[in-house]
């Protein structure tokens, strides 16, 4: 009986050592996982901080732009747009455009030839991987506006990852040019008759 107790104690000690080794392994694994989780959380926080800095910079750039700026993602959905864009079109036309495809957005306030020009400019820029300029006219009569639309694909190793569209209002420049040409022609006509 005494031998049986000794054997039982020996077996229990052996099980206890095995359990102790297993427990130490689990504690090391838990510590490794916790450390790894802490590293990942710190990396996530740093990335979130960098993303916030980038977002603030982009928002400031868009807010202070005199041109209409549209920044698209790789699927050509509106990611950001300048406030000037909103002010120059009726709010109901451009409300909630973030996340919408640019072609759908263009259909909200253009049609016919202007829409085709805008769509072709985007297609050409994507197909050529180069910046493409499109000159368009919106409106008629006294409300006619002239725009130069510059479509720039943003590539990462030849893969489209974004798209920048810059609408510059050229109306004042074109009107001033037309007035100068008209004045020059009038002057030439006057001098020709003298």
The pLDDT tens digits of the residues spanning 173-190 come to 888 888 888 888 888 887
Half-sphere exposure of 56 (CA within 13 A, CB side): 6
Check residue 117 and give its pLDDT: 93
Give the homologous superfamily in CATH for domain 68-179: PAS domain (3.30.450.20)
Check residue 61 and give its pLDDT: 65
22-35 b/e (C-beta count within 10 Å ≥ 16 → b): eeeeeeeeeeeeee
Give helix 102-109 / helix 112-128 axis angle, nearest 10°: 160
| pLDDT level of residue 35 (50, 70, 90 thresholds) | confident
| pLDDT level of residue 59 (50, 70, 90 thresholds) | low
CB 58 within 8 A of CB 50: no
| pLDDT level of residue 151 (50, 70, 90 thresholds) | very high
Alpha-carbon distance of 124 to 153, in angstroms, equals 10
**Position with higher pLDDT, 14 vs 94:** 14
**Mean pLDDT of the 48-64 span:** 73
In terms of Cβ atoms closer than 10 Å to its own Cβ (0-12, 13-18, 19+), residue 109 is middle
Alpha-carbon distance of 184 to 100, in angstroms, equals 47
Most confident of 79-88, 95-104, 118-127, 159-168: 118-127
């Amino acid at each position: 009986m005494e031998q049986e107790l000794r054997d039982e104690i020996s077996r229990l000690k052996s099980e206890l050592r095995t359990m102790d080794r297993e427990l130490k392994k689990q504690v090391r694994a838990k510590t490794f996982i916790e450390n790894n989780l802490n590293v990942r959380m710190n990396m996530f926080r740093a990335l979130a901080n960098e993303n916030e800095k980038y977002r603030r910079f982009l928002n400031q750039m868009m807010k202070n732009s005199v041109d209409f700026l549209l920044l698209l993602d790789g699927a050509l959905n509106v990611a950001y747009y300048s406030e000037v864009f909103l002010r120059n079109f009726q709010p109901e036309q451009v409300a909630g455009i973030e996340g919408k495809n640019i072609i759908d957005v263009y259909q909200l306030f253009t049609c016919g030839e202007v829409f085709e020009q805008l769509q072709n400019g985007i297609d050409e820029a994507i197909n050529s991987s180069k910046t493409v300029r499109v000159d368009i006219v919106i409106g008629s009569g006294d409300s006619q506006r002239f725009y130069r639309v510059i479509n720039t694909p943003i590539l990462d190793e030849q893969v489209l990852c974004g798209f920048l569209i810059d609408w510059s209002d050229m109306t004042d420049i074109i009107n001033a040019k037309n007035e100068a040409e008209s004045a020059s022609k009038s002057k030439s006509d006057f001098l020709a008759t003298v």
